[in-house]
Amino acid sequence: MAKAHLARTFDDLRFGRGLDVEKLWPMVSGIQASITRHPGAIMAVTRLKDRHEYTYAHSVAVCGLMIGLARQMGLDPAKHHEIGMAGLLHDIGKARVPTMLLDKPGPLTSEEKMMMRDHARLGYESLMSGDEVLNANQRLTSIVLDACLHHHERLDGSGYPDNQRGEHISLYARMVAICDTYDVATSARVYKSASSPAEALDLMVNSPGRFDPEILSAFSALIGIFPVGSMVRLRSDRLAVVLESPDDEATSPPVCPFFCIQTRQQLPWRRSPPGVDPIIGIELPSRWNLPVWAETRAAILAHFEGNLPLE
């Protein structure tokens, strides 16, 4: 329902009919209520996107992720609603970007990249202009407006549109930056396949100076203690890949050990059930300099789907 409603909202803006923000608040309330009833449900929503409805589903997913992250960070519950709206409208400027550019299967030219980057400012301007928006402007707080304009800013100043740095970037824009990047990475598009949750977290963790580490830590906890595909270290001094994220065994999921740290040898792939060899922590792939790590992880996860034998 939210995707269909948001599609109409984008069309209204695309064809010059303005934006009726008041109609969006009940939708955010519904998403917020759903997350309150079942906090883990939003993680399933992030995986249920069709390539052709990506823009709308992405905005709904980021709305949910923002509400979940606000809960995880212990932010004032009175602000959760507008934090969700910030996620819902963060990409509204894409309604003013040509559709053929949004779905282009090949790499963008320099000029096209500039047009795409302009969506943040276009969205901000759209929220700040027009009779429909002005009539509802008391409902568009600075949290929503700033997140729309600055969700592509990065702590090291490498983002856009204003090259903001560090604490000059608002807390909420830093939150949207992480939720947006995660959902983009884990979504299949016409020009790329979807990354796993672990690969998406790897991308952000291994981009020092770009994302707020404290917010990223809270987001990692929201996604799951040990996301599927994570590299973990076992008590036996083996490296393993997390195979599942069962709700009832969040701290001890099934894994596949693949590398012995002491002997520096690859191991045969076997499924180790929960609790047999406890996990002592998540490991960064960059620390071990393993060749073709991404390919190895993908192969292990694919092989597990073919029913690996138990240890």
Rounded distance between C-alpha atoms, residue 54 and residue 64, angstroms: 15
φ, ψ for residue 149, nearest 5 deg: -75, -35
Contacts of residue 207, Cβ cutoff 8 Å, sequence gap at least 6: none
Tell me the three state secondary structure of residue 108: coil
Q: What separation in angstroms does the CA of 310 have from each of 220, 234, 255, 273, 302?
A: 28, 16, 10, 7, 16
Predicted local distance difference test score (pLDDT) of residue 136: 46
Residue ranges of the chain with per-residue pLDDT less than 70:
40-53, 130-139, 190, 247-250, 306-311
Q: Which tokens sit at 81?
A: 């609603």
- What pLDDT is attached to residue 7? 85
Burial (0-12, 13-18, 19+ Cβ within 10 Å), 197: buried
Question: DSSP of 175-231, one letter per residue?
Answer: HHHHHHHHHHHTS-BTTBPPPPHHHHHHHHHTSTTTS-HHHHHHHHHHH-SS-TT-E
Three-state secondary-structure class, residue 120: helix
Helix intervals (H) in 106-193: 110-117, 119-127, 131-135, 142-150, 171-185
Residue carrying structure tokens 């807390």? 171
In this structure, how many other beta carbons lie within 10 angstroms of the beta carbon of residue 136? 17
Amino acid at the residue 193: S
